[in-house]
Amino acid sequence: MSGEVPIPEPPGLPLIGHLAELDRELPIRSFISLADKYGEIYRLRLPGRSLVVCSSHRLIDELCDEKRFLKVPKGALHEIRQGVHDGLFTARLEEPNWGIAHRVLMPAFGPVSIRGMFDEMHDISSQLAMKWARYGPHHPIEVPDDFTRLALDTLALCSMGYRFNSYYTSELHPFVAAMGDFLTESGNRPNRTMPSWFYRKEDAKYWQDIETLRTTADEVLQERKNHPSDRKDLLTAMLKGVDPKTGQHMSDSSITDNLITFLIAGHETTSGLLSFAFYELLKHPEAYRKAQQEVDMVIGKGPITVEHMSKLPYIAAVLRETLRVDSPISQYALTAKEETLLAGKYLIRPDETIGVLIKKAHCDPAVFGADAEQFKPERMLDEPFNKLPKNAWKPFGNGLRGCIGRPFAWQEATLAMAILLQNFNFVLDDPGYSLALKQTLTLKPRGFRMRASLRDGLTASQLENRLAGKEISPASPQGIVRNGSNSATTNGHSGKPMTVLYGSNSGTCESLAQRIASEASHRGFRISRLDHLDTANGSLPKGEPVVIITASYEGQPPDNAAHFVSWIESLKGETALEGVQYTVFGVGHREWAQTFHRIPKLIDSKLSEAGATRIADLGLADVGSGDAFVDFESWEDGVFWPALAKQYGTSSDESDVLQGASLKVTVTSPRSSTLRQDVMDGLVVSTRTLTAEGEPVKKHIEITLPSDQTYRAGDYLAVLPINPKPVVERAMRRFHLPWDSHVTISSDEISYLPTNTSLPAHNILGAYVELSQPATKRNIAGLVEATKDQDAKEALKKLASESYEEVLAKRISVLDLLEKYPSVDLPLGVFLSMLPPMRVRQYSISSSPLWNPSHVTLTFSLLEAPSKSGQGMHLGVASTYMASLQPGDTLHVAVRPSHAAFHLPQDVENTPVICVAAGAGIAPFRGFVQERAAMIAAGRKLAPATLFFGCRRPGRDDLYAEELAEWEKEGAIRVVRAYSRDPGAKYRYVQDALLGEEEAVLEAWRTGVKMFICGSRAVGDSVRAAVMRIAREEARREGKDDSDEHLSEWWEGLRNTRYASDVFD
Ligand SMILES: Cc1cc2nc3c(=O)[nH]c(=O)nc-3n(C[C@H](O)[C@H](O)[C@H](O)COP(=O)(O)OP(=O)(O)OC[C@H]3O[C@@H](n4cnc5c(N)ncnc54)[C@H](O)[C@@H]3O)c2cc1C
Ligand SMILES: NC(=O)c1ccc[n+]([C@@H]2O[C@H](COP(=O)([O-])OP(=O)(O)OC[C@H]3O[C@@H](n4cnc5c(N)ncnc54)[C@H](OP(=O)(O)O)[C@@H]3O)[C@@H](O)[C@H]2O)c1
Ligand code: HEM
Ligand SMILES: Cc1cc2nc3c(=O)[nH]c(=O)nc-3n(C[C@H](O)[C@H](O)[C@H](O)COP(=O)(O)O)c2cc1C
């Protein structure tokens, strides 16, 4: 046709075409990735069919024209059709049964009928709430599983008066099990590549499942026919309803088809919506708080009624926004009625399927702006929602074939949200959890667990009464109370109760919290609770010390403290927390000058403003200039324990510097070695050294992600390392432990070490503790006690006092001291209790999912230098560990999303990019460039990008030089290099290169460039200074204010909008 432009498609393979492009477990990952690469439209040739995938608003708007495009059940829908024939979901439009059922059932899904189902929906939601209440606050809830039970039980009850009672049995009802397997197989069948006999077993199971589904539904139907009832459910509507057009009733087989159809179409979708909604709320504390406040204001503590359902605009916005960013049905299929040109240029034939990729179209920046990928319920409040362009939000499908169950799902989801937010506070079970997907017919979060604690001091039986609409006796007189049991309680200790709460991403504050908890029993306290701050959202205990230890991240709370901070920020009045006695210790890094210690300071002041009593002054540690453990110990000894002794009449003495003595250790040497049974997540695919012999080593490692993990270029990989073998050997040697010795640790105090189980000593020393942290003063005092040698005593005492600076400067560890002073006879248990737990290290991912969505690469510098202590080499724990890995090795990893701003701009076609990196700081930018190269190879035209890269010498540590040269040729990047140790180089450092290219930088700035900076903190500072210099010159030329203060404010104000930096030492 004239004006036709070819639809881009990836290079395919004979026979299977593009099948290999699709991730079998998570096809959506491939569909999105291909859309990122090829743009708004692409074609895939799959066995026996051609699929054109569209993902921009403008194309989808056009596809919603029912005169040109219609739904024809193909692929998985065709397979489901074998079980439910021409039921509503799988029928062809022209089939008479579709028309009859559609017209009979439309009124049954109308507002009046759905209101009539409220009580039964309430019944099932209440069962869910009671189950969670009885679990208690520390039970990890399998969120999608429990919402699936909710959706299934609600549908079965409201559609046919049948109770699956999923909350009361651990086994799935046979109908539910059959349906799950049937749906999974229906999804697999279209992608079969082997002859049919190969799948005999699967086929037999598939038909058997269909038989189970149909027999059960037939029985329900017969039962109702035999015992007619006046229930106002969908079954009654189907039995009694008359099609106004034909005057016909629905046939029995059509009723059976549709009974099963409702369960199929309605259960995964609604449970997916609720699961994603809770995930998003937990990740967005501000939205969580607003949603809960709305429930509190509109419904209060009383019974929830059907009238409330339309009075919760914020909850509605949360559900809409969830369906936008996390559509459970991510894609649906259409067919062109006849050959047609889409967007006036893409030829679509009627024999091919059109995939409407709403998950991607819902994030079209042309409609939703540059922050389209972010969850922001505000944009879905009624007013902006109603102003959205036509067909911009399509989670329920389109037109005549749109979802008939939408009002049903809406009422059910609104009610469940309201009941749950009214009565519970939620936290992520793993605060570091980031969304992983599971795909069957629909999408759901995978591995998403949360914990629920009852609000307002409610007990489970009080909740039962409230849900039943009965009066309940008032909550605990304290007003703010703890719910249920505590996560960590020291058994067998008397003493005054104490709560310890922490906000921590990478484990420093968590281990400080553990330290204080271990110490408490020696000071006359017992730990009533040790948990992360979010578990105290909305409830702080009174009448006992509450110790809060927290870090800040870019001025924001750590992942597990965001809800708590949002809560205390919202507290009004000076008495809200009266009776709470607290103290705060903050850990920060001075390099984040603007937001140094922001969160601990904020918590300290907010609690005080809300009427809580500060029992000890705020303590602060700067990990940029010292060591958190050391500063913490000084605060504990100098401020915290003495203040507590004064307030509570307990002892402030360091009663027992050998505090670990209550860790009892038994060492055995078994004759046979026991194999380790580590459960490892990531798999090493390959490793290579990027630097020339003699240069400081930088390496590249490729890792297969755990199957459910996804990532974006710019994200991080957290790696849980193992201590370098030579360091473990030093410890083993010092404690005279044979290599096969086993250790059993028993402790009646809180310990992060595995207790009451026999483990190899090298495993404990290798995997559980940090061996190279500087010794604290208290550690050294412990060593003094453990030696009889007077000289050693004196030397150590000096180190713990006037020479302590030396310990810090040289990073002298306890192990270093034990080696230096052989007379110290320290029990192994005491040594272990002195060490902080092993923590993860983060690495910028240096690949793009467009290269491979299930593999990541890292680019890292090996830290290996003569130890500052003068004793041997300092081997960086994680970098040495990763450098030692070989292909086939497994390791513990997790993807951690980076700041929302640290990703390629959404509008890659029009937003130029400048990246500035030195050394291993190139990591995220390799991912960016790889992504751009993939897009260009797919035929997209991108705005220009420049990489300023600093290294030492050409051909020596000029990382990825060959790859970058290829990518430069393809137009994915322009590289400007600075060589710090090559006297002939044009630029020495990246900042010199920026200044040298000032004109180009300014020009890019004017055209809306987005800048990214990555490397060591020092590099970050140098780049900042260079940009400010360029800006100053420009300001001068334009006669504007060019003071340092003004420029500094200007630059800070642009953070995370015009530029994003990821810098760390
Ligand atoms: C968000 C983020 C992304 C990152 N991305 C990357 C990346 O892509 N690539 C990369 O290479 N790194 C990256 N890093 C840094 C990385 O996380 C680690 O910090 C780094 O690899 C060192 O870890 P390690 O376990 O090997 O060293 P550790 O065992 O943690 O040792 C480091 C500590 O030892 C101290 N030390 C240094 N030299 C000596 C010495 N001679 N004697 C005694 N003590 C010494 C240091 O001051 C430091 O406190 C990133 C960091 C962050 C926060
Ligand atoms: N996302 C992140 O936060 C992230 C990601 C990756 C890496 N990193 C961190 O970045 C750092 C990079 O270390 P590396 O070992 O890869 O680097 P490197 O090899 O030691 O240095 C690379 C280049 O940077 C130069 N340089 C040193 N100080 C500089 C300064 N103040 N301004 C500009 N250039 C400077 C060096 O010059 P000389 O010849 O003068 O030394 C060298 O040419 C590490 O600390 C790593 O942990 C962070
Ligand atoms: C949040 C929850 C839900 C979502 C996101 C959702 C989404 C959708 C979508 C996208 C379609 C169109 C599919 C296509 O074009 O192939 C659809 C159709 C359908 N849905 Fe839903 N749905 C939900 C809940 C429900 C519920 C609770 C029921 C039943 C009570 C239901 C019953 C149906 C039926 C019968 C169809 C087919 C309509 C027809 O073609 O006539 N859905 N749904
Ligand atoms: C990405 C990043 C951002 C940070 N932002 C801040 C900050 O804004 N203010 C601050 O005082 N410290 C900041 N820090 C330093 C941390 O608070 C410090 O590393 C602390 O030890 C982390 O504690 P944790 O291990 O318990 O999470 C930041 C650290 C990182 C890695």
pLDDT (tens digit per residue) in 283-304:
999 999 999 999 999 999 899 9
Pocket probe mutation, ligand 3, options 121, 269, 359, 398, max atoms within 8 Å of Cβ: 269
Give the residue, out of 510, 533, 589, 1063, with the most ligand 4 atoms within 8 A of its beta carbon, to mutate for a pocket test. Answer: 589
d(CA 319, CA 323): 6
Instruction: Indicate the pLDDT class of residue 703, thresholds 50, 70 and 90.
Output: very high
DSSP state for residue 379 in the 8-state scheme: G
Position 749 confidence tier, pLDDT thresholds 50, 70, 90: low
On whether the CB atoms of residues 914 and 941 are closer than 8 A, the answer is no
Nearest to 779, CA basis, from 660, 874, 664: 660
User: How high is the pLDDT of residue 697?
Assistant: 97
Using the predicted structure, report yes or no on whether residue 488 has a pLDDT greater than 50: no
CB 291 within 8 A of CB 314: yes
Are β-strands 913-918 and 945-951 bridged in parallel, bridged antiparallel, or unpaired? Answer: parallel
CA of 898 to the centre of ligand 4 (A): 14
Q: Give the residue among 865, 870, 895, 896 at the shortest CA–CA distance from 880.
A: 865
583 CB-near residues (< 8 Å, 6+ apart): 545, 546, 547, 548, 614, 615, 616, 617, 618, 619, 640, 643
CA atoms in the 13 A half-sphere facing the CB of 1010 = 19
Assess whether the C-beta atom of 1022 lies below 6 angstroms from ligand 2: yes
Give me the catalytic one of 64, 363, 403, 915.
403
Question: Who's near 719: CB < 8 A, 6+ residues apart?
Answer: 840, 841, 842, 843, 878, 881, 882, 891, 892, 893
Mean predicted confidence (pLDDT) in 987-1002: 96
Mean pLDDT of 169-186: 85
d(CA 1027, CA 1048): 10
Catalytic member of 236, 261, 269, 535: 269
pLDDT tens-digit series, residues 420-459 = 999 999 999 888 788 888 888 899 999 999 999 999 888 8
Nearest ligand atom owner, CA of 93: 3
**In Å, how far from its chain's centre is CA 401?**
34
Residue 1005 C-beta-side C-alpha neighbours within 13 Å? 15
Question: pLDDT tens for residues 656-687?
Answer: 545 555 566 666 533 122 222 223 578 999 99
54 is catalytic: no
- β-partners of residue 586 are 550, 620
Q: Are 603 and 584 in contact (CB under 8 A)?
A: yes
Distance, in Å, from the CA atom of 708 to the CA atom of 446, rounded to the nearest integer, reads: 7
Task: Assign 541 to helix, strand or coil.
Answer: coil
Average pLDDT over residues 712-733: 94
Which percentage of the chain shows pLDDT scores above 90? 66
Asked if residue 783 lies in contact with residue 826, where contact means CB atoms within 8 angstroms, the answer is yes
Pairing of strands 581-588, 619-622: parallel
User: Please, are residues 327 and 276 in contact by the beta-carbon 8 Å criterion?
Assistant: no
Distance CA 940, CA 945 (A): 14
Using the predicted structure, report yes or no on whether residue 347 has a pLDDT greater than 50: yes
Burial 1015-1037 (b: 16+ CB within 10 A, else e): bbeebbebbbebbbebbbebbee
124 CB near ligand 3 (under 6 Å): no
Give mean pLDDT, residues 339-350: 96
Alpha-carbon distance 514 to 501, whole Å?
10
pLDDT tens for 929-965 read 999 999 999 889 999 999 999 999 999 999 999 999 9
Q: Is the CB of 455 under 6 A from ligand 4?
A: no
Name the 3-class secondary structure at 996.
helix
What is the β-pairing status of strands 346-348 and 437-439?
unpaired
Would you call 403 a catalytic residue per the annotation?
Answer: yes
Dump pLDDT digits (tens) for 121-154. 999 999 999 999 999 888 999 999 999 999 999 9
d(CA 58, CA 343): 8
pLDDT digits (tens, 9 = 90+) for 907-936: 888 999 999 999 999 999 999 999 999 999
User: Atom 21 (ligand 3): residue with closest C-alpha?
Assistant: 403
Express each pLDDT in 612-646 by its tens digit: 999 999 999 998 777 788 889 889 989 999 999 98
**Rounded CA gap, 216 and 235, in Å?**
14
Question: What is the mean pLDDT of the segment spanning 311-317?
Answer: 97
716 within ligand 1 shell (Cβ under 6 A)? yes
Position with higher pLDDT, 98 vs 12: 98
- Please answer whether residues 942 and 910 qualify as being in contact, where contact means their C-beta atoms are separated by less than 8 angstroms: no
- CA–CA–CA angle 641, 646, 647 (5° rounding): 95
What is the pTM (predicted TM-score) of this model? 0.79
Cβ–Cβ under 8 Å, residues 328 and 276: yes
Distance 863 CA to ligand 1 centre (A): 7
- Residue 264 identity: I
Concerning whether 640 is annotated as a catalytic residue, the answer is: no
Tokens for 361, please give them.
Answer: 């179209």
Q: How far apart are CA 870 and CA 889, in angstroms?
A: 33
Mean pLDDT on 1015-1031: 92
| Both tokens assigned to 977 | 């290099």
- 898 C-beta closer than 6 A to ligand 2: no
- Ligand 3 centre to CA of 289 (Å) is 30
Predicted confidence at residue 58, as pLDDT, reads 97
pLDDT in tens, 804-858: 999 999 999 999 999 999 999 999 999 998 998 888 899 999 999 999 988 999 9
Write out the two tokens for 230.
């006046």
Residue 825 Cβ inside 6 Å of ligand 2? The answer reads no
Is the pLDDT at 477 greater than 80? The verdict is: no
Q: Alpha helices, DSSP H only, in 64-137?
A: 75-84, 96-108, 111-116, 118-135
Minimal CA–CA distance to 371: which of 771, 907, 745, 808?
907
Distances, alpha carbon 54 to alpha carbons 76, 465, 611, in Å? 19, 51, 56
Q: How many Å lie between the centroid of ligand 4 and the Cα of residue 587?
A: 7
For residue 847 and ligand 1, the question of a CB distance below 6 A is answered with no
Do residues 798 and 771 lie in contact, with contact meaning Cβ atoms separated by under 8 Å?
Answer: no
Which residue matches tokens 């409201």? 158
| Structural contact between residues 77 and 264, judged by C-beta atoms closer than 8 angstroms | no
DSSP H or E segment with residue 463: helix 460-467
Q: Are 663 and 830 within 8 A, CB to CB? A: yes
- Could you tell me how far CA 541 lies from the centroid of its own chain? 29
Atom of ligand 1 nearest to the CA of 841: 17
Buried b (16+ CB within 10 A) or exposed e, 88-103: bbbbeeeeebbbbbbb
Please name the amino acid found at residue 675. L
For 779-807, how does the pLDDT look when each residue is reduced to its tens digit (9 = 90+)?
999 999 999 999 999 999 999 999 999 99
Residue-wise pLDDT for 29-81, tens only, equals: 899 999 999 999 999 998 788 999 999 999 999 999 999 999 999 888 999 99
Task: Give the residue carrying structure tokens 């780049």.
Answer: 1023
